[in-house]
Amino acid sequence: MTPLEKASQYQDKNRIKKEEKPVFHMTPPIGWMNDPNGFSVYKDKIHLFYQYHPYSEVWGPMHWGHSVSEDFVKWEDCPVALAPDRDYDAAGCFSGSAIETDEGHVLVYTGVQEKKDGSKEMIQHQCLAIGDGIRYDKIKENPVIPGLKLPEGFSKEDFRDPKIWKEDDIYYLVAGNKNEKQNGQVVLFASKDLRTWNYVSVLSDNQEKYGKMWECPDFFPLKDKHVLIVSPQDMQADGKEFHNGNQAAAFIGEYDRKNHRLVEEQVISLDYGMDFYAPQTLVTKGNRRIMIAWMQSWDMNIKPVEQKWNGMMTIPRELELREGQLYQNPVRELEKYRVEPVLCTEMKIAGACQVSGIRGRVLDLSLEILNGEYHTFTVEFAKNDIYHTQLTYDPVAQTLEFDRTYSGIIRDVVCRRKIKIKEPKETLKLRLILDKFSVEVFVNEGIQTLSAAFYTTLEAEEIVFLCDGSAKVNIEKYEIRLD
């Protein structure tokens, strides 16, 4: 049996029951998952691959798991797509992307290989596999971009996570890399035939400021600008920005096509929670730019020991630029799964208040705080007598604080995060997407988001609104049900 067959067979035999997993957030059938890979549309289906180690709940030799969806919400597992089974990827098939071509569905990934000099050091190079949406074959020309193609001084050990696209009959890809000073940068390559690639430029770099190694780049036009998404490692916090050591950031600006360089105008955190990394985007036939990310942190592994799957993706989010600001919102396809509505208009909340019909762990819950006299307004969820997780708004400081201290966490990890609300308005709008073990908060139509995992026992499903004065609110709640 090949390593690929073995992995698919293992996944089929050990698949976790769906009742034990989130309802609409993509999770692996069994074992460990990190970055989303190959997020793409092929033959009208949405494909999502991911960094996968089926055999344990911790990171190990990387495979590419695979699932498909018609609508970004319901996911179906497929056989494992790639296993580390060649010389050039024997130490792992690392992150990458995919594109629909006349030859089929093309996956571009990083092959990791131990150096032959006995040093135990690894080199990374870019490889291709072509398939029909289910089975993928690595091509004989691999690796198509060996480290040798990089200019002198650029790291051959840190050269990974290619993101591919096509423009005017030319394929381009960006990959994460380090320069001679060990600083993160994104390198751009071009090809006519997917086999021969030429180095073009350094598209952008960390300016000795934004982290060290840059992982998982993505580069695309959005409205009249270009956006570069990167996941810098070893990021330092700056005020209330960039609080994750492994951070996901967006560089927004103009693409200087002559020099193939991004001239950035703003750099922003893509998410303000604890669990968000390595986002990747696709573009739909209708030209919507959709982003998905790994909803977990490399540094804080909080899942219960007995849980045999590890890793969730975020809800896919539509990206938009409005008046120069980047907005993220859950894909609209989620709305067709909303049931059991409860709508409250201009409801007065004073003290602690529970609303009939508003409870549960799989919810789409929106709240608009209209006005009032109070110092803080809090929403507690995943709550019972012992547990709760909460979000607190301070209208004077214009801050929002997330706190999972009482979610049942038994590890010494970061539980609180306070964010400064960007471009505050008269009212505050919050949309909370809850799916058993996570919350994604969309602030003021998605100008900021906060994603976090928590593994509170599922009996804790109360929701309490708390106001230390009195406030008027609009509430809209739906359960999400897939069948």
Measured from each CB, the residue nearest to ligand FRU is: 94
Least distance CB 287 / ligand FRU (angstroms): 28
Q: Of 35 and 57, which has the nearer Cβ to ligand FRU?
A: 35
Binding mask 151-190 for ligand FRU (x = CB under 6 A): ---------xx-----------------------------
Six token digits for residue 412:
């010494």
Report d(CA 162, CA 294) in Å as an integer. 17
Least Å from the CB of residue 121 to ligand FRU: 16
Among 26, 33, 48, 62, binds ligand FRU (CB under 6 A): 62
Question: Cβ of 103: how many Cβ atoms within 10 Å?
Answer: 12
Q: What separation in angstroms does the CA of 193 have from each of 107, 141, 145, 220?
A: 14, 12, 13, 21
Buried b (16+ CB within 10 A) or exposed e, 145-169: bbbebbeeebbbebbbbbbbbeeee
Contact status: 216 vs ligand FRU (CB under 6 A): yes
Amino acid at 438: S
Comparing CA positions, the residue from 124, 123, 127 lying closest to residue 109 is 127
Q: Which is nearer to ligand FRU, 73 or 80 (CB)?
A: 80
Core vs surface per residue 341-351: b (16+ CB within 10 A) or e: eeebeeeebee
Tokens for 41?
Answer: 């549309």
Residue 53 is a binding residue for ligand FRU (CB under 6 A) = no
Q: How far is the CB of 53 from ligand FRU (least distance, A)?
A: 9
Q: What track of x and - describes contact with ligand FRU for positions 12 through 41 (by CB under 6 A)?
A: ----------------------xx------
Answer yes or no: are the C-beta atoms of 296 and 46 closer than 8 Å.
no
Q: Is 402 exposed, middle or buried (0-12, 13-18, 19+ CB in 10 A)?
A: buried
Least Å from the CB of residue 360 to ligand FRU? 32
DSSP state of 90: T
Q: Considering beta carbons, is residue 217 or 408 the nearer one to ligand FRU? A: 217
Residue 449 contacts ligand FRU per CB under 6 A: no
| DSSP reduced 3-state for 87 | helix
**Active-site residue, selected from the candidate residues 35, 77, 161, 435:** 35
> Which one among 75, 94, 189, 454 touches ligand FRU, defined by CB under 6 A?
94
Beta carbon of residue 58, minimum distance to ligand FRU (angstroms, whole number): 12
Structure tokens at 40: 């793409």
Q: Binder to ligand FRU among 110, 281, 407, 438 (CB under 6 A)? A: 110
User: Least separation, in Å, of the C-beta of 184 and ligand FRU?
Assistant: 11
- Shortest distance (Å) from residue 71 CB to ligand FRU: 26
Strands (E), 395-461: 399-403, 416-420, 428-435, 438-443, 448-453
Q: Contact at 8 Å (CB) between 107 and 131?
A: yes
In this complex, which beta carbon is closest to ligand FRU, that of residue 51 or of residue 113?
51
Question: Of residues 40, 95, 126, 407, which one binds ligand FRU by CB under 6 A?
Answer: 95
> Interaction with ligand FRU in 217-256: which residues (CB under 6 A)?
none
Q: Give 64 or 220: the residue with its C-beta nearer to ligand FRU.
A: 64
**Count residues contacting ligand FRU (CB under 6 A)?**
13
The nearer residue to ligand FRU, 51 or 97, going by C-beta atoms, is: 51
Integer Rg of the chain from CA: 22
35 is catalytic: yes
The one-letter amino acid at 194: L
Q: In 70-149, where do the E strands start and end?
A: 75-77, 93-101, 104-114, 122-131, 136-138
* Least separation in angstroms between CB 35 and ligand FRU: 5
The three-class DSSP label of residue 377 is strand
Taking the least distance from each CB to ligand FRU, the nearer of 48 and 62 is 62
Q: Among 278, 290, 443, 463, which residue interacts with ligand FRU (rule: CB under 6 A)?
A: 278
Residues that bind ligand FRU (CB under 6 A): 34-35, 51, 62, 94-95, 110, 160-161, 215-216, 277-278
The residues annotated as belonging to the active site are 35
